Homo-oligomer: A and B are copies of this chain.
Amino acid sequence: MPGKMKNKLIVQKYGGTSIANTKKIKNVAGRIIEYTRRGNKVVAVVSAMGDTTDELVSLAKNINPEASEREMDMLLSTGEQISSSLLAMAIHKQGIESISFTGAQVGIITDTDHTQARILKIETDRIKKELTKGKIVIVAGFQGLSTALEITTLGRGGSDLSAVALAVALKADLCEIYTDVEGIFTADPRIISKARKLKYMGFDEMLELSSRGAQVMHTRAVEVAKKFNIPLHVRGSFTKKEGTIIMKDTPSLEEPVVRGITLDENEAKITLCNVLDKPGIAARVFNELASQDVNVDMIVQNVGRRKTTDISFTVPKKKLTKVLKLSRDLAKRLGSGDVIFDDKIAKVSIIGVGMKSHSGVAAKCFSILAKNKINIDMISTSEISISCVVKKEVGKKALKTLHKEFKLDKIKM
C-alpha cells in the first residue's frame, strides 16, 4: 500500500539506528525524496544519531549525577537538533528543498514536566507554510517548548510520540515509523528464528505488546494513534519491504487467537510476607509505591492462611533497590513479616485480540508450560493477554514452546 502512495501527506519517523552515521543519513534522505517524487508531502521526525543521547547523558553524569531535569532537557534536545539539520543538508545535496526545525520552532507545546513532558498542542502554521512551498520538513523529535518557554523532552519513545502527534495535528494520511527491525513480529526474532512478521496489528494488541516488553514502539505513541485513529506503519529503514500496519480494525475476518508472545527479563519480584489480611492494606501498599513513582506491574495476593496473607508484585529491576527500601519501611509500619525478592525471573506474555472470544486460551497456555515442566510462579490476565512469571533460566524455553504450540511460526497476517 504505502509503496504506491501518491499525493498524500506522510509523517515519517526515523529512529537513532536509522540515522546512526552520515552514510545512513544520506540513505534516509534518498528514501524521503522517493516519496516526494510521487507527489507526496513528507514531514520527517528524527531521533538523535546512534549513541548521541547516551554520550550526552554520560557527560552530564560525570559533571553532576543529579543534574536538574530542566538542564538535562537543554542538553539532550541538542541530539535531535543535530540529526535534523544534517538530514536537511543531505536532502539539499540531492537538489531538493528541505528545512529543519526544533520542537520549539514547530510549536510543539508541552506542559512543564521536564524529561517527561506531555504534548498540549501543536501549532502547525510554520510546517504547513513550508510544505506549501514544496519543502520537505524535518523535525527534531523527542522535544517541545513548555508553556514556561523552556525546552522540554518527552521521555522514552519521545520521537515516536512527536511523529504521531504531528500526524494527528497535520491530519496526515499515514504515519510511518522507521526502525531497525522490519515490523512487528510474533516474537523477538533474535530469540525465535521462526518468528513471523505480522502484516496488521490492532492498536490494543500493540499496546499490550509494548507494555509486555516488546520495545519496538512506546505505549504513549500508540495510545495517541489509537485515540485519533491514525494508522501507523512500523517498518525497517534498511529495506523496501513493507512492515506492520497498526490500525483500529485489522482487515482479516478470522484472526488467529494468539498473535504475539513477549519475554521480559527486566523485572524483579518482591513479596511482602505475613501482611494482615484486612481491607485496605493492599491499597495502602500500592498507593505508597505509586506516590514514589514506582510502576508496579503484576500483583498477586495469595490466599490468606490464618489472619495474614502474602502480597507479591513485580517492578522494573532497576527500581528494585528503591522499592525494597520502601517495602521494608512499610512492612515495619504495618507490623508485617519479611520482605523477600527474586530478581532472576522472566515474564512470558501471550497476546491477541482473538482471545476475547475464545475460551480455553489460558488453560492451553498453562498446560503447554506444564507439559514442558516449566513451573509458573505468578499469573495475571487481561482481556487480550496472559502473562506468566517463570524462573529466568526457563524464560526462553517457555517463549519458544508457546510460540511453537500456538503455531505462530505459521501465522498468515
Contacts and interface: CB of A to CB of B under 8 A. Distances in A.
Interface of A: 22, 25-26, 56, 59-60, 62-64, 66-68, 70-72, 74-75, 77-78, 81-82, 84-86, 88-90, 92-93, 99-100, 102, 105, 149, 151
B67 A74 contact: no
A92 B64 contact: yes
B64 A93 contact: yes
Nearest to A140: B74
B89 A68 contact: yes
A225 B92 CA distance: 39
Q: Which of A67, A70, A86, A93 has the most CB of B within 10 A?
A: A86
B71 A92 contact: yes
Contacts of A70: 99
A325 to B, nearest CB: 25
24 contacts: A22-B59, A22-B62, A25-B63, A60-B85, A60-B89, A63-B86, A63-B90, A63-B93, A64-B90, A64-B93, A66-B93, A67-B89, A67-B92, A70-B99, A71-B85, A71-B88, A71-B89, A71-B92, A74-B85, A75-B81, A75-B82, A75-B85, A78-B81, A102-B151
A277 B151 CA distance: 62
Question: Which secondary structure characterizes the binding site on chain A?
Answer: helix
Given A64-B90, A71-B89, A105-B149, 7 more contacts: A22-B63, A60-B86, A63-B89, A63-B93, A70-B99, A75-B89, A81-B81
Contacts of A90: 63-64
Contacts of A72: 85
Contact of A100 (B25, B71, B85, B102): B71
Which 8 A-B residue pairs are closest in the complex by CB-CB distance?
Answer: A74-B85, A78-B78, A64-B93, A75-B85, A64-B89, A67-B89, A22-B62, A71-B85
